[in-house]
């Protein structure tokens, strides 16, 4: 079994879903600390005539101590949902696949979400259906794993699921000790994704935007074409 782990990001980029497609199980790390600075967990980018635009979900910060992602509450005193929907509608209204997906986002933003992780989980699960990805998604808060260092936590997650292979992004080389995994009977593979320049409005291509950009511009076919670029790096 091949397991991958990732934080539950907000409307993630296409590489996130390619990693998801390659795995048998994706574990969303909702039991880890919510980043204190800027984070992909509550924001992402779309394209506008003036370049990239950040869509940020406002959250309630609770002091300087440990705040787990699963506990992060959305600050609904801001009309962020309406703002995000209006931005998508305004900047992608002329995109080829706009009508295929805008109603889904409208339904999402009409709901009043309390927890950030619930919002992100719903977005990820629904979008993966469009790409016909049958990978199982599990939240780390559902597993019996304690507070450990990054490498030890990933090993514990793999063991709890009976995984023999762990799929990591290229950035995992900074904190993953391959030998510690091998001692536990787990092989480590590194995922590298190189997005191609798909059709966008407004000039020069901007890579690694939210999956919303690819959906509105290219639909499911755009994702299928990009998947051909996904590969393992030894």
3-state secondary structure of 173: helix
- The Cβ of residue 55 has, within 10 Å, a number of other Cβ atoms equal to 19
Lookup: tokens for 168:
């990591």
Distance CA 7, CA 29 (A): 5
Tens of pLDDT, residue by residue, the chain (234 residues):
999 999 999 999 999 999 999 999 999 999 999 988 889 999 999 999 999 999 999 999 876 557 999 999 999 999 999 999 999 999 999 999 999 999 999 999 999 999 999 999 999 999 999 999 999 999 999 998 876 788 899 999 999 999 999 999 888 888 889 999 999 999 999 987 877 889 999 999 999 999 999 999 999 988 887 776 555 554
Q: So what's the pLDDT on residue 119? A: 98
Helix/strand/coil (H/E/C) assignment for every residue in 53-112? EEEECCECCCCCCCCEHHHCEECCCCCHHHHHHHHHHHHHCCCCCHHHHHHHHHHHHHCC
Q: Residues 134-183: pLDDT tens digits?
A: 999 999 999 988 767 888 999 999 999 999 999 998 888 888 899 999 99
Cβ(88)–Cβ(104) below 8 Å? no
Half-sphere exposure of 147 (CA within 13 A, CB side): 5
Q: Which tokens hold the place of 52? A: 């990239």
- CB-based burial, 126-138: b 16+ in 10 Å, e otherwise: ebbebbebebebb
Find all residues with CB under 8 Å of 124, minimum gap 6, and list them. Answer: 8, 9, 12, 16, 20, 28, 137
Q: Give dist(CA 126, CA 13) in Å, integer.
A: 14
- Strand pairing partners for 191? 169, 232
Q: What is the DSSP letter of 34?
A: P
For residue 222, the model assigns a pLDDT of 87
Angle (CA) 3-206-43 rounded to 5° is: 55
- Residue 100's pLDDT is 97
- The whole-number pLDDT of residue 36 equals 83
Asked if residues 169 and 19 have their Cβ atoms less than 8 Å apart, the reply is: yes
What is the predicted pLDDT for the residue at 63?
63
Place of tokens 């600050």: 75
């Amino acid at each position: 079994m091949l397991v991958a782990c990732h934080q539950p990001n907000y409307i993630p980029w296409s590489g996130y879903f390619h990693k998801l497609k390659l795995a048998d199980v994706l574990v969303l790390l909702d039991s880890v600390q919510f980043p204190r600075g800027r984070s992909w967990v509550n924001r992402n980018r779309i394209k506008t005539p003036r370049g990239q635009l950040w869509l940020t979900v406002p959250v309630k910060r609770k002091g300087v101590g440990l705040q787990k992602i699963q506990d992060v509450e959305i600050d609904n005193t801001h009309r962020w949902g309406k703002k995000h929907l209006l931005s998508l509608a305004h900047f992608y209204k002329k995109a080829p696949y706009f009508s295929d997906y805008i109603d889904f986002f409208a339904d999402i933003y009409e709901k009043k979400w309390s927890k950030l992780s619930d919002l992100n989980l719903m977005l990820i699960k629904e979008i993966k259906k469009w790409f016909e990805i049958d990978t199982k998604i599990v939240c780390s808060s559902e597993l019996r794993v304690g507070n450990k260092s990054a490498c030890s936590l990933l090993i514990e997650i793999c063991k709890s699921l009976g995984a023999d292979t762990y799929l990591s992004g290229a950035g995992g080389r900074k904190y993953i000790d391959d030998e510690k995994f091998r001692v536990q009977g787990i092989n480590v593979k590194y995922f590298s994704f190189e997005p191609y320049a798909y059709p966008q409005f407004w000039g020069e291509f901007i890579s690694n935007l939210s999956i919303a950009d690819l959906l509105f511009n290219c639909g499911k076919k755009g994702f299928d074409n990009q998947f051909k670029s996904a590969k393992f790096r030894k």
